[in-house]
Chain A
Amino acid sequence: MDPRYIGQSVRRQEDDSLLRGMGKFVDDLAPHGLTHAAFLRSPVAHGRIRTIDTTFASEVPGVIAVLTLADLRPVLTSDRLPVQFKSDGLPPNIGPYILAKEEVVYVGETVALVIAESRAIAEDAVALIDLDIEELDPVTGCHQAVQPGAPKAALDRDSNIFAQFEMGYGEVDQSFATAAHTVSLSLVQHRGGAHPIEGRGVLAHPDSLSGQMTVWSSTQQAHEARGFLIELLGLDETLLRVRTPEVGGGFGAKYLLYPEEVSVTAASLLLGRPIKWIEDRREHFLAAIQERDQFWDVEAACDASGKLIGIRGTMIHDGGAYVPQGVNLAYNAATAVPGPYDLPNYKLSVQAVATNKVPTIPVRGAGYPEGTFVMERVLDGLADAAGLDRIEIRRRNLIPASAMPFSTPLKSRSGSGITYDSGDFHAMYEQALKEIDLGGFADRKAQAAKAGRLRGIGVACGIKGTGRGPYESATVRIGKSGKVTVFTGAMPMGQGLKTALSQITAESLGVDPGDITVVCGDTNTISLGLGGFASRQTVVAGSSVTVAAKAVREQALTIAAGLFEADVGDIELVDGMARVKGTEIQASLKELAKIAGGSPGYSLPTGVTPGLEATEYFMPSGLTYGMGVHAVELEVDAETGAVTLQRYVVVNDCGRAINPKIVVGQIHGGVVHAIGNALFEFMGYDEQAQPTTTTLADYLMPTAPEIPRIDVHLAEYPSPLNPLGVKGVGEAGCLPTAGAIVSAIENALGSKNQLIQRIPVMPQDLFQFIQQGKQTDAA
């Protein structure tokens, strides 16, 4: 039977309340007796706290409490946060303090907190806390961090190195001996922040009737947050519930339990009052995680035909002051280098080091954009060295469809092998070239040249591992009201997950998706959950939902079969009814649910089990990989270094698309985030590691006029790894973007033997690059 709901761009169930201004975000919640928190944050990148004098701050009318770590200790089991993703060899002391203890290690680190009748008053008091700090030398960059005699980023660690490891396979050094062409690159990659338009926020709400603490948080991970909170506060699941209201975007910044969430909850336990803290934009710059800098020094080799032989080199990753998720970011980046290409030999030495800057964990893309950029630069460099067309060299190195599934010798962070499960990369590549009308490019370039403009084209590919496990939870239930409800630990922050899950449920139960309620982000409704990261939710939660919904379908059919004295195979579920096909004999799901609910003292009909309900924790056997090809045309203003994007084509494999409109929307967003990283967004620090970009007027996120139309084509190569055949797309859009743009810039300039090695490409840098190019061309 053809799917009725899956694959349709049904209207999103999220939209109606949001479009009316009725969606409730965390700052929209205001329980009776609400108080407000503001934080004193470290004004210096590195220092030793001498004293914190809260006397004047406490005297401000309207202030309820001024709290330091010592004040919170009675309700804390630990002074610092645990590391979320542990891996072998990580040193101790790499998780943030809940409030600073003796040392501060980045500007913005939480030092003390004020609870007051209003946020404004809390901020007045923060300004009156007398913080006496002895300034220490900061580590301002990761090269400095590893130099002998460098200051230590944190005094309680033995070194500035969080981790170092080797990644790779094959016989790289021998392979270089056979190279026909080589290229060396020193790539500097900056990836800024997440910057959802809604910042972080938390409301701790103790309920004196139930004795339960409810923590409302704008988070990507309700269950993980609960897990850490009960551990840090010495509570259990019956005493603490985490709920998420609408979440105004996350992009990685909200996949972490932060010191603010812990300290606000601790303060609320101490004071017995509801407390809300809403991150303002300045705080998002100072204290929400970023992804930031990586420095890659790599050499690559190919044979005479342009086929890759090997890549070797080093990468140093700026982890910032703490790495609350270990070194997954550097790890992902290193595994992402081969991408959709057949790379026979690979060796990379990685160092993840500490600096006195804001901590890092993955932002949308999670290291993959960086690895992808390296490979794309390598291919451009080798093409130039071999005198090959840049578009052709990719063709020669893409993994052929005949090799699918393709196992690389690398292992993912979980330890499982990296296997590309399905897809025809060449077909997608050719489609992208066709969609951007490669054939017509020469004409367009000539036209632009007539008007004095330099036009260029660039193509790049990337592949993202999506659908991380180990599992996601889902319960599908038809209640006695007849209402279908889905409960899951997956966490939407704008992706339309509820709509997608309702479509999947609808497919099995024959109910209109709009009539299905999906409950996410409430730890009281389902016991386990991992939440929203790694483009995983439709893959993993979607699979759990489909399995659970099918089980409920079987239960419903069994009851109906008994009721109608018909064969299960003759019954269909449509429009909220169970019906004997081709007859008028039918019963509503409500009636079936009542039967399954039973009556006190009476037995259930034969073969019927209690309730119309099933819970599933789908466990994917591995990541499912979705390839993307981006083709971009742009114009360079050689006099200023400005870049104007003109055309943008994406061909992306999303496996089976549950809701194509939603999928395309995800890709639009990813591409534009990555355009920001390629051309605009830069988080600056001065020589003392003081952030210099702390407003959205300084940190340039792309706005509508800078963005061209993005023409997205979905390739649907079903994944064999899950029952729906889906692949994740949340991050897909941001992988090949920078590679394609930079390649197109060089194509526009017609520069030879000169490669752009730093992103974002700022106009001033590009102008200098052009000037240097002129000099080398002249020489």
Chain B
Amino acid sequence: MTNSAETLHTVTLTVNDVPHEARCVARQNLADFLRHDLQLTGTHVGCEHGVCGACTVLVDGLAVRGCLMLAVQAKGRSITTIEGLTQPDQQLGILQEAFAQHHALQCGFCTPGILMTLVEVLQDDPDPSEMALREALSGNLCRCTGYQNIIDAALAAAAALRKNQK
């Protein structure tokens, strides 16, 4: 199959509650599609083979690797990316704020994937132990922070979210 013959598929989906429609080739992965076709460059790509976790986004509320899913597979789905974490009033959300408070990011390249993973993890288990969080983040590599401040931020965010629930 030659490149010019590459079929364009229409993908309609919602990202951060905003409906989008775009055309892309079948081989385009979801992370690249969000970044380059929808200009939502907050989602990052660090390996393209499913290990680093930088590309993690929520698909219908579940954390998945954006590099291991085709954009065409996101048809009709609801995607949440880091850009969707900021509150409507432009304030940082609780988790983002905890990351700033606890110095849980240095270069910030891994951060989007870690935040998106934690959104699901904290929804699942509002009161996780430190070890549970470490295991939940085992699919996210960070070369800068040594993880400790990320874990501390997640614990603090969990506590703040619990308080909010009450």
Enumerate chain B residues within 8 angstroms of A733, measured Cβ to Cβ. 146
Bound-complex Cα distance A251 to B141 (A): 15
The interface-forming segment of B58-66, B70-78, B101-109, B156-164 is: B101-109
Enumerate chain B residues within 8 angstroms of A704, measured Cβ to Cβ. 133-135, 137-138, 140, 147, 150-151
In the bound complex, do residue B49 and residue A249 qualify as a contact, i.e. CB atoms below 8 Å apart? Answer: no
Bound-complex Cα distance A496 to B144 (A): 11
Within B46-85, which residues are at the interface with A (CB < 8 Å)? 46-52, 54, 81-83, 85
Enumerate chain A residues within 8 angstroms of B96, measured Cβ to Cβ. 19-20
Partner of B146, one of A20, A23, A27, A710: A710
In the bound complex, do residue B148 and residue A668 qualify as a contact, i.e. CB atoms below 8 Å apart? Answer: yes
Interface residue? A493 (CB, 8 A): yes
Within B100-130, which residues are at the interface with A (CB < 8 Å)? 100-101, 103, 105-112, 115
Least CB distance, A388 to chain B, in whole angstroms: 33
In the bound complex, do residue A19 and residue B99 qualify as a contact, i.e. CB atoms below 8 Å apart? Answer: yes
Enumerate chain A residues within 8 angstroms of B110, measured Cβ to Cβ. 197
Interface residue? A703 (CB, 8 A): yes
Partner of B54, one of A197, A246, A672: A197
If the complex has contacts A197-B143, A696-B51, A707-B148, are A494 and B41 also in contact, measured as CB distance less than 8 A? no
Enumerate chain B residues within 8 angstroms of A280, measured Cβ to Cβ. 47-48
In the bound complex, do residue B145 and residue A668 qualify as a contact, i.e. CB atoms below 8 Å apart? Answer: yes
Enumerate chain B residues within 8 angstroms of A15, measured Cβ to Cβ. 99-100, 105, 108
A residues contacting the other copy or chain, number (CB 8 A):
61
In the bound complex, do residue B149 and residue A701 qualify as a contact, i.e. CB atoms below 8 Å apart? Answer: no
In the bound complex, do residue B109 and residue A198 qualify as a contact, i.e. CB atoms below 8 Å apart? Answer: yes
Enumerate chain A residues within 8 angstroms of B145, measured Cβ to Cβ. 665, 668-669
User: Chain B residue with minimal CB distance to A125?
Assistant: B3
In the bound complex, do residue A665 and residue B112 qualify as a contact, i.e. CB atoms below 8 Å apart? Answer: no
Enumerate chain A residues within 8 angstroms of B143, measured Cβ to Cβ. 195-197, 249, 251, 669, 673, 701
Interface residue? B4 (CB, 8 A): yes
Least CB distance, B5 to chain A, in whole angstroms: 9
Within A1-49, which residues are at the interface with B (CB < 8 Å)? 9, 11-12, 14-16, 18-25, 27-28, 30
If the complex has contacts A16-B92, A197-B54, are A672 and B146 also in contact, measured as CB distance less than 8 A? yes
Bound-complex Cα distance A16 to B100 (A): 8
Chain B interface category by residue count: 35 or more
In the bound complex, do residue A20 and residue B86 qualify as a contact, i.e. CB atoms below 8 Å apart? Answer: yes
If the complex has contacts A249-B143, A669-B145, are A19 and B48 also in contact, measured as CB distance less than 8 A? no
In the bound complex, do residue B41 and residue A21 qualify as a contact, i.e. CB atoms below 8 Å apart? Answer: yes
In the bound complex, do residue A695 and residue B51 qualify as a contact, i.e. CB atoms below 8 Å apart? Answer: yes
Enumerate chain B residues within 8 angstroms of A121, measured Cβ to Cβ. 3
A584-601: contact bitstring with B at CB < 8 Å (1 yes, 0 no)? Answer: 000000000000000000
Enumerate chain A residues within 8 angstroms of B49, measured Cβ to Cβ. 281, 695-697
User: Chain A residue with minimal CB distance to B101?
Assistant: A11
In the bound complex, do residue A18 and residue B105 qualify as a contact, i.e. CB atoms below 8 Å apart? Answer: yes
Enumerate chain A residues within 8 angstroms of B46, measured Cβ to Cβ. 197-199, 248, 281
Bound-complex Cα distance A696 to B46 (A): 10
B4-41: contact bitstring with A at CB < 8 Å (1 yes, 0 no)? Answer: 10000000000000000000010110000001100111
Enumerate chain B residues within 8 angstroms of A665, measured Cβ to Cβ. 103, 106, 144-146, 149
In the bound complex, do residue B35 and residue A28 qualify as a contact, i.e. CB atoms below 8 Å apart? Answer: yes
User: Chain B residue with minimal CB distance to A676?
Assistant: B143
Interface residue? A671 (CB, 8 A): yes
Bound-complex Cα distance A695 to B106 (A): 24
In the bound complex, do residue A11 and residue B100 qualify as a contact, i.e. CB atoms below 8 Å apart? Answer: yes
Interface residue? A270 (CB, 8 A): no
In the bound complex, do residue B92 and residue A27 qualify as a contact, i.e. CB atoms below 8 Å apart? Answer: no
In the bound complex, do residue A25 and residue B100 qualify as a contact, i.e. CB atoms below 8 Å apart? Answer: no
If the complex has contacts A249-B143, A251-B143, are A703 and B83 also in contact, measured as CB distance less than 8 A? no
In the bound complex, do residue A710 and residue B148 qualify as a contact, i.e. CB atoms below 8 Å apart? Answer: yes
In the bound complex, do residue A247 and residue B149 qualify as a contact, i.e. CB atoms below 8 Å apart? Answer: no
Partner of A14, one of B4, B108, B142: B108
If the complex has contacts A21-B112, A281-B49, are A705 and B144 also in contact, measured as CB distance less than 8 A? no
Least CB distance, B87 to chain A, in whole angstroms: 10
Bound-complex Cα distance A27 to B47 (A): 14
Interface residue? B165 (CB, 8 A): no
In the bound complex, do residue B109 and residue A197 qualify as a contact, i.e. CB atoms below 8 Å apart? Answer: yes
Least CB distance, A476 to chain B, in whole angstroms: 25
In the bound complex, do residue A493 and residue B107 qualify as a contact, i.e. CB atoms below 8 Å apart? Answer: yes
Least CB distance, A19 to chain B, in whole angstroms: 4
Bound-complex Cα distance A493 to B144 (A): 10
Least CB distance, A278 to chain B, in whole angstroms: 8
If the complex has contacts A62-B4, A197-B46, are A246 and B148 also in contact, measured as CB distance less than 8 A? no
Interface residue? A495 (CB, 8 A): yes
If the complex has contacts A19-B100, A493-B107, are A281 and B141 also in contact, measured as CB distance less than 8 A? no
Enumerate chain B residues within 8 angstroms of A496, measured Cβ to Cβ. 103, 106
User: Chain A residue with minimal CB distance to B92?
Assistant: A19
Within A565-598, which residues are at the interface with B (CB < 8 Å)? none
In the bound complex, do residue A668 and residue B108 qualify as a contact, i.e. CB atoms below 8 Å apart? Answer: no
Would you mind naming 27 contact pairs between A and B with Cβ atoms under 8 Å apart? Answer: A9-B103, A18-B105, A19-B92, A20-B83, A21-B41, A21-B42, A25-B41, A30-B39, A61-B4, A62-B4, A196-B107, A196-B109, A197-B52, A199-B46, A246-B108, A247-B107, A248-B46, A248-B108, A495-B106, A496-B103, A665-B149, A668-B146, A695-B47, A701-B143, A703-B141, A704-B135, A705-B135
- Residues of A near any B CB (own CB < 8 A): 9, 11-12, 14-16, 18-25, 27-28, 30, 60-62, 120-121, 124, 195-199, 246-249, 251, 280-281, 493-496, 661-662, 664-666, 668-673, 695-697, 701, 703-705, 707, 709-710, 733
Known A11-B100, A696-B52; 19 more pairs at CB < 8 Å? A15-B99, A18-B108, A21-B41, A21-B81, A61-B4, A199-B46, A281-B46, A281-B49, A494-B144, A496-B103, A665-B149, A672-B146, A673-B143, A703-B139, A704-B147, A705-B135, A707-B134, A709-B148, A733-B146
- Residues of B near any A CB (own CB < 8 A): 2-4, 25, 27-28, 35-36, 39-52, 54, 81-83, 85-86, 92, 96, 99-101, 103, 105-112, 115, 131, 133-135, 137-151
Which 5 pairs of residues, A with B, have the shortest CB-CB distance? A21-B42, A494-B107, A248-B109, A18-B108, A668-B146
